[in-house]
Structure 1
Amino acid sequence: MSHCGLPEFKLTCRENYAVIEIMKENFTILEIKWDEQIVTVVRMDMLGDGCPDYEFINIKVHNKNFECAPSNEKLTYSYGCSSSNISSRKVPQEKGFTCTPNETVPGLYTMETPHQTNKISCNNTTDIPVLPKYYRYLQSNKMAAKDVVKEGFDLRYKFDTKEACSECLRSGGQCGCNQVSKEFVCFYEENIAGDGGSRKWKLGLGIGVGFLGLFLIAIFIICCYKKRRASSNIFSRSTTDPYLNTDVEGGSCYFGVPVFPFNDLAKATNNFASEKELGDGGFGSVYHGKLKDGREVAVKRLYEHNYKRVEQFMNEIEILTRLRHRNLVSLYGCTSRHSRELLLVYEYIPNGTVADHLHGEQAKPGLLPWSIRMSIAIETATALAYLHASEIVHRDVKTNNILLDNNFTVKVADFGLSRLFPNDVTHVSTAPQGTPGYVDPEYHQCYQLTSKSDVYSFGVVLIELISSLPAVDITRHRHEINLANLATSKIQKCEFHELIDPSIGFETDSEVRRMTIAVAELAFQCLQQNKEMRPSMEEVLETLKSIESREDSPDENQEKEFDDIRMIKSEQPPPPSPECDEVGLLKNMRPPASPISVTHKWPSTRSITPNVSG
């Protein structure tokens, strides 16, 4: 068989797989991280079900071109073990597995603490490198050992001609390759003798063709990899693992949630018919469907062109399996991450989103009274405070991601961008994401994420609830395109009558007037540009409850609060961001006293998650 590229790499393409031969073993390429010089590979015969076709061997890759990345974890497999020893619990049952086509050769695996293998009889023991992420999943019983193995491991490749070639060109040489050693060589004029210009021209042509070949090889690897990802459907459904149990749709449990066959979900949504579409956005579309058992569901279908779809798919599953709260949308299940398409299945929330009712298709004056709006604010704050207490930051809080059932009960959705946020760290650095009009201005400046980023976004939601205005409206004055800019300006000037929606009773009901002004002032605190000046979500929740129960004592404090705001009124606020998203809010200015607390593709107005996260 002939190979592409340098002979040492022995790269081939077999049945839509990019395959590389290393130390006489064939490995399938799963992912290439060019900036880190990392290639994720798996032994080709272990890709289907995590079991080898012939035998387990120690996977130790170390030669002049490749070496195992130090980030890999080690998983020790012992196989051909005595089934009587395993069944008698000389080793824990959950550590057992079976391999070979007829599933008759029992085995076990070990991680940090080796089992007492001298007490059992096994034919062989071998070490297999695995990715640290899936190693942790195995530790927490979220994945089976065989599934972890087929996710592969990382190799670091040692060849990097880009830097060497750049240095060669800077020194006046020409980049080339030694046809005998196949190693990079820098050619200079004195190295070229004989035929003069003709020979130089031929050498230059040869060098150019050589580097064009290397470039085409790189494209070849990427194409094979993408084709393999799009066509693979190789999720193991073995019931020998104790946490894989059949569900009502005939699938398995994956990360603790049922796995639905793709064909069942396609049938439930009438093959994702356009009339079933509930919403669309930058990451995927959401469809209404009905399962075989009669349950109505919302199915999120991640776009194939979204290169982060697998990460978002796994992230949303991992987070939602950790959470149970009446104000969070429930995840019913998913397809396998190796399915032909990545689908997430949620409970169907029939009454649309808060955005729909405030300024969308379902918005009508008087149909969303203040009592319901206040309830929405409190329930949303309750859900976000629960997330923060669970060490999770939502990162995309907006009225399009707040769903409403028929009783107007809140269901917060869309955890595709959410992140775990351990207690022992102060922030998480990440590339800016989110929705224009809701993004924390500090997030743009330093790319650091904290729970106060959610607080800022929730401040925008509060302003939407009292004003019925969208977070971004390009038909408004340029200084007021962002609702946050508009609101802080009106609140500074105490022009509440120009901000608060008159249809909710601001002018006619003194109690509504008291509460909406108090909520506006709370939102004012949430929208501070400096995150340290914002309250925590728990403090926001307590303040909202106090406002609802009249514990804020407005008669005694109202005038003082107005004075505090008027004191800031004369200060010059910062100009709006040219990006119309980094909202400047009272930078280097003293915050007002709290009335309660201590002193993309978005052409459609429909939500990506009108009935589910999106």
Structure 2
Amino acid sequence: MDVIEGECTGKGCCQTQIPKGLKYYNTTMSSTQNHTHVWSFNSCLYAFLGEADHFHFRGLPDIAVDRTINYLYERIKANVHIVLDWAIGNLTCTQALKSEDYACSENSHCIDSDTGLGGYRCSCNPGYQGNPYLNQGCQDIDECANNSFCEKTCINTPGSFNCSCPHGYTGDGKKDGRGCIAPYHDQFPWIKVSAGTGVGLITLVVVITLLYICMKKRKLIQVREKFFKQNGGLLLKERISKKEGGVEATRVFTAEELKKATNNYANDRILGHGGNGIVYRGELRDNRIIAVKKSRIVDESQIEQFINEVVILTQINHRNVVKLFGCCLEDEVPLLVYEYVSEGNLYEHIHNQRGAGWLTWKNRVRIAAEIATTLAYLHSFASMPIIHRDVKSANILLDNVYTAKVADFGASRLIPLDQTHVATLVLGTSGYLDPEYFRTSQLTEKSDVYSFGVVLAEFLTGLKPIIRARDEDNKNLADFLVLSMNKNSLFDIIDGRILQEGSHEQLQKMAELAKKCLQPRGEDRPVGLCGGL
């Protein structure tokens, strides 16, 4: 028989583990071969219970012939412990806590039995020792008694302890931790220097950033001041500091205000393009809807004249003139702020563009009268007459009840009271331009009268100022109307719907006024326009 030391596998020794929760265990020993004669000199069959970790089978020395039974018995008795695995009752900790005979005392806790048979045991909490089943059986352990945990100062607390270091030391004070680190009086203070350097660098970055922002802001202010002076801002402030003619003084808007009002001049805010700039729809902080006209580059030599025009326009108080709310001179080009007129311009309604509604004959007569009274007002303005210089249907705006509003005074000029005309660069729109003004460059109020005659022709015929034909040269509407009247064929060129809505007498009367306005010589044109309507 091969008996191996340390292995209790069945040859000379048999060992098995008793599972937890086992209530009964029976041991039977027998021989797999016939050892009847062996028993007479070595009767070694016996069994015992013990903790497996403490039993070590030595092999043949434990069962040698020269060993007695008592030798092995005494060795097992001295070295192999018997462990009692027990529990209180058959309740779990959760159930036992609710019972009156809960066995665990103060400063202890309950542990469920792991035998699978139920029951529980008690154990003192960490930092306490003693018998958990006795009243006040778990007593606080004084960890500071031998000061075996802290390097310097130990402070005992119920169930625990705290370590601390003397003033000036760093660390957690624990022997198994960072301990207490003495201050480096004799070494260079790297930590302090590093912290100071970091704070200094951060401060420097913050200061530089603030300086940059301030310089950028100052530069922006300087640029705006430059534009303000360049666009005549100082002169404008001087001229509008007082209220004249009972009209409210002009407001000077900031560039930021108008930029925000127009959503940074977004394309979807564009209301229209003109010869003098682009008009944007905007909304002020008080929810007022405005129209912002962004002018083209202005000649510096004309700034004073431009400012003079702005001042004059602010004094105009007429229901049929688009009101000028103010201007902005902080941008590269001047910005003018007008009241917003909702229904587009007259050109769109006459020529059915952009979905504009149809203008009845009654509305056309009324609008023509409103334009005539407005031009008369401008030409006879008390302080200094104004010549619009670009009267056309596209510059006549309509509000929600189709009231006419004369707009776009970008090309307008002022006529001193002691003069009847001014010599100026010819400006205007093809088809509406006074031929006498075009030929002589002498601008008079009769130039506006001629343009008004073209608008009347549009009212009557529904044709555009320049009539484009496929097989013929382009025709001028003014000449076409006058020629048709001379041939007694006026009603052949009048718009069909207008011909049905208006009486022949009304149509003839407006046509005759248009013909008078379209005379080649300005002196032959009428002075008062309303009388002919």
TM-score, normalised to structure 1, is 0.46
Residue 535 of structure 1 corresponds to which residue in structure 2?
526
SS at match of 2:503: helix
Q: For the residues of structure 2 that align with 1:340 and 1:493, how far apart are their CA atoms?
A: 54
Q: For the residues of structure 2 that align with 1:306 and 1:468, how far apart are their CA atoms?
A: 38
Residue 488 (structure 2) pairs with residue 494 (structure 1):
yes
**Bigger radius of gyration among the two:** 2
Check 1:274–1:325 CA distance in 2 against 1; reply closer, same or farther (3 A cut).
Answer: same
String of CA shifts for 1:319-361, please: whole Å, max 9, x gaps.
312311000010011112x534421100000000000101142
Unpaired segments of 5 or more residues in structure 1? 1-227, 246-253, 545-614
- More deviation in 489-498 or 469-478? 469-478
SS at match of 2:466: coil
Q: For the residues of structure 2 that align with 1:272 and 1:315, how far apart are their CA atoms?
A: 27
How far 1:315 sits from its partner (Å)?
Answer: 4.8
The answer to whether the 8 A contact 2:392-2:432 is kept is yes
The answer to whether the 8 A contact 1:429-1:447 is kept is yes
Question: Given residue 465 of structure 2, which amino acid in structure 1 is its aligned partner?
Answer: A
Question: Given residue 513 of structure 2, which amino acid in structure 1 is its aligned partner?
Answer: L
Check 1:274–1:313 CA distance in 2 against 1; reply closer, same or farther (3 A cut).
Answer: farther
Q: Show the 5 A alignment for 1:286-435.
A: 286-304=279-297, 310=303, 313-336=306-329, 338-362=330-354, 367-390=358-381, 391-435=385-429
SS at match of 1:232: helix
The answer to whether the 8 A contact 1:303-1:309 is kept is no
The answer to whether the 8 A contact 1:277-1:288 is kept is yes
Question: Given residue 325 of structure 2, which amino acid in structure 1 is its aligned partner?
Answer: Y
Q: Spell out structure 1 runs of 4+ moving beyond 6 A.
A: 228-231, 240-243, 305-309
Q: For the residues of structure 2 that align with 1:418 and 1:328, how far apart are their CA atoms?
A: 13
Aligned equivalent of 1:519, options 510, 522, 528? 510
Check 1:306–1:243 CA distance in 2 against 1; reply closer, same or farther (3 A cut).
Answer: closer
Aligned equivalent of 2:456, options 462, 480, 486? 462
Q: For the residues of structure 2 that align with 1:478 and 1:427, how far apart are their CA atoms?
A: 37
The answer to whether the 8 A contact 2:281-2:340 is kept is yes
Check 1:306–1:437 CA distance in 2 against 1; reply closer, same or farther (3 A cut).
Answer: farther
The alignment covers a number of residue pairs equal to 301
Looking at both structures, which has the greater relative contact order when contacts are Cα pairs under 8 Å and sequence separation is at least 6? 1
The answer to whether the 8 A contact 1:440-1:453 is kept is yes
How far 1:474 sits from its partner (Å)?
Answer: 2.9
Q: For the residues of structure 2 that align with 1:543 and 1:475, how far apart are their CA atoms?
A: 32
Q: For the residues of structure 1 that align with 2:223 and 2:305, how far apart are their CA atoms?
A: 16
Q: For the residues of structure 2 that align with 1:309 and 1:291, how far apart are their CA atoms?
A: 30
How far 1:428 sits from its partner (Å)?
Answer: 1.3
Q: Show the 5 A alignment for 1:197-216.
A: none
Residue 9 of structure 1 corresponds to which residue in structure 2?
none
Residue 93 of structure 1 corresponds to which residue in structure 2?
none
String of CA shifts for 1:96-117, please: whole Å, max 9, x gaps.
xxxxxxxxxxxxxxxxxxxxxx
Q: For the residues of structure 2 that align with 1:433 and 1:367, how far apart are their CA atoms?
A: 31
How far 1:426 sits from its partner (Å)?
Answer: 2.5
The alignment yields a C-alpha RMSD, in angstroms, of 3.0
String of CA shifts for 1:352-403, please: whole Å, max 9, x gaps.
0000101142467x82110000011000001000001112111111001101
- Between the two proteins, what is the percent identity of the paired residues? 44
SS at match of 1:424: coil
The answer to whether the 8 A contact 1:479-1:485 is kept is no
String of CA shifts for 1:15-59, please: whole Å, max 9, x gaps.
xxxxxxxxxxxxxxxxxxxxxxxxxxxxxxxxxxxxxxxxxxxxx
The answer to whether the 8 A contact 1:232-1:339 is kept is no
String of CA shifts for 1:430-460, please: whole Å, max 9, x gaps.
1211111111111122111111111111000
Unpaired segments of 5 or more residues in structure 2? 1-221
SS at match of 1:332: strand
Residue 453 of structure 1 corresponds to which residue in structure 2?
447
